[in-house]
């Protein structure tokens, strides 16, 4: 009988221990038992190790100086021994059959480099109320995954199981990214390996105020940095996307500009909108700019838009100018 492959479960943590025990317990409770757990402490200034005392005989605890989430995950990959690698954030949870289900998928097809699934979101204040979150590309042809994920990067890192070969071939997470390091990694793998969807929702992601992704400006900047880098590195992918790829990048610039405007970062928003207009081709798509100004802003933001738009118009000379003695609205 073939021996079950070893799965390495990597849990990075930094200055947060209140949920770490739950995360570890969700691995210990797995129906699949051939795994190792590596907790990578990324330079916490609190004593994480003492809080893990009940688990130290069941996990491998590794401390490193603070280098960021991507570096912590890369350290876990380097220190791990498993044929397959899974990642679990220190405040999230695995469903009980996650490893059993996903290992079977990888074992069933040698051409598959990773398996992914849907998941659940739950609020820390109400852990029993689960909200289903559908993964990008679910139930679609595997060869479409990269494009679908590029257009809508929604797969929880905790809902993945990845062959070690993928990291051996492509390297690990991009440590130059402050966010979206997991999306960047997954898209690169998807452009080189076949991915397969598993219908078993495999992870529960905790939603609370300290989630990094709540900083939308940094998030959009990181996604743009990552996607532009990948399009440059994979010209065949850029060519296959065609105008859809350009429209997606322009959309991200538009979304970033909105967030900058909300934060009253007018200089930054002005530059971002220039990039948006330089990329978008369709007049219909350009119309979102005006639609947002006229229909989707509060009164305060509307006045900001008037101020912002007039400066942009005067500088570019490409849109209808408002005269200073003429009110643009009643």
The tens digit of pLDDT for each residue in 175-188 reads: 999 899 999 999 99
How would you list the strands of the sheet with 84-87, edge to edge?
A: 60-64, 35-42, 7-13, 84-87, 160-163, 112-117, 194-198
CA atoms within 13 A on the CB side of 322: 15
The tens digit of pLDDT for each residue in 130-143 reads: 999 999 999 899 99
Write out the H or E segment, with its range, that includes residue 198.
strand 194-198
How is the chain split into domains, by residue range? 7-210, 217-316
Q: What are the structure tokens assigned to 154, written together?
A: 């929604």
* Number of other CB atoms surrounding residue 295 within 10 Å: 7
- 42 three-state secondary structure: strand
Ranges in the chain, pLDDT < 50: 211-213, 299, 310, 313-330
Cα distance between residue 156 and residue 59, in whole Å: 23
pLDDT given at position 317? 43
pLDDT given at position 276? 86
pLDDT given at position 316? 45
pLDDT given at position 247? 87
pLDDT given at position 136? 95
Q: Do the Cβ atoms of 75 and 60 come closer than 8 Å? A: no
pTM score over 0.95: no
Cα distance from N-terminal residue to C-terminal residue, the chain: 80
The tokens 């119309």 sit on which residue? 287
pLDDT given at position 212? 45
Q: What are the structure tokens assigned to 79, written together?
A: 């220190």
CATH fold, domain 7-210, is Spore Coat Polysaccharide Biosynthesis Protein SpsA; Chain A (3.90.550)
Q: What are the structure tokens assigned to 122, written together?
A: 């739950």
pLDDT given at position 323? 36
pLDDT given at position 293? 55
Instruction: Classify each residue of 207-217 as buried b or exposed e, where b means 16 or more C-beta atoms within 10 Å of its C-beta.
Output: eeeeeeeeebb
41: Cβ–Cβ under 8 A, 6 or more apart, which residues? Answer: 13, 14, 48, 49, 61, 62, 63, 64
Q: What are the structure tokens assigned to 155, written together?
A: 């797969």
Q: Which residues pair with 10 in a beta bridge?
A: 38, 87
- C-alpha distances out from residue 108 to 31, 34, 114, 191, 194, Å: 18, 18, 12, 21, 13
CA atoms within 13 A on the CB side of 280: 20
């Amino acid at each position: 009988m073939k021996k079950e492959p070893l799965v390495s479960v990597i849990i990075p943590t930094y200055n947060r221990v209140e949920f770490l025990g739950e995360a570890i317990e969700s691995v210990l409770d797995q129906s699949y038992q051939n795994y190792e757990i590596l907790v990578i402490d990324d330079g916490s200034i609190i004593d994480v190790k003492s809080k893990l005392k009940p688990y130290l005989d069941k996990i491998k605890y590794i401390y490193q100086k603070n280098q960021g989430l991507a570096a912590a995950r890369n350290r876990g990959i380097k220190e791990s021994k498993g044929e397959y690698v899974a990642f679990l954030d220190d405040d999230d949870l695995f469903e009980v059959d996650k490893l059993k289900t996903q290992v079977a998928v990888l074992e069933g097809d040698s051409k598959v480099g990773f398996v992914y699934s849907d998941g659940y979101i739950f609020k820390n204040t109400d852990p029993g109320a689960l909200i289903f979150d559908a993964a990008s590309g679910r139930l679609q042809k595997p060869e479409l995954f990269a494009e679908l994920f590029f257009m809508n990067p929604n797969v929880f890192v905790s809902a993945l199981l990845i062959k070690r070969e993928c990291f051996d071939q492509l390297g690990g997470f991009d440590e130059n990214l402050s966010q979206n390091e997991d999306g960047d990694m997954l898209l690169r793998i998807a452009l080189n390996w076949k991915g397969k969807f598993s219908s078993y929702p495999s992870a529960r992601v905790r939603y609370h105020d300290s989630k990094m992704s709540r900083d939308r400006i940094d998030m959009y900047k990181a996604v743009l940095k990552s996607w532009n880098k990948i399009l440059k590195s994979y010209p065949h992918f850029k060519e296959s996307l065609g105008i859809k790829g350009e429209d997606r990048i322009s959309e991200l610039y538009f979304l970033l500009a909105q967030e900058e405007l909300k934060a009253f970062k007018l200089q930054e928003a002005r530059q971002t909108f220039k990039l948006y207009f330089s990329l978008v081709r369709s007049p219909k798509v350009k119309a979102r700019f005006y639609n947002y100004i006229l229909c989707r802003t509060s009164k305060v933001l509307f006045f900001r838009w008037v101020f912002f738009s007039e400066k942009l118009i005067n500088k570019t000379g490409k849109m209808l100018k408002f005269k200073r003695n003429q009110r643009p609205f009643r």
